[in-house]
Amino acid sequence: MTTEFSWGDRVEKVTGDYTFDGVVIAAMQKVDVDTLQPVGQVRYAVQNAAGMIHIFNASQLRVKE
């Protein structure tokens, strides 16, 4: 699985109507629930300083400078 972000990357959400800054704590690939085969879409779990975890796709994130 190729990913755009890695564990420990500091990222920020850049789309939508709310902000979210945090650290990538996992990258995972979506699967077909019947076959359990990967369907190619990668998602990232991002944890903020308060401990809240959100899941995003790569187009929603960028590395925080």
| pLDDT at residue 36, rounded to an integer | 92
Q: How far apart are CA 3 and CA 40, in angstroms?
A: 11
The stretch 6-19 carries a mean pLDDT of 96
**Extents of the domains making up the chain:** 10-63
Which tens digit of pLDDT belongs to each residue from 15-62? 999 999 999 999 999 999 999 999 989 999 999 999 999 999 999 999
- DSSP helix/strand/coil, 58: helix
The band of 65, judged by pLDDT with boundaries at 50, 70 and 90, is confident
φ and ψ of 29, to 5 deg? -105, 135
Residue 37 pLDDT: 92
The pTM of this model reads 0.89
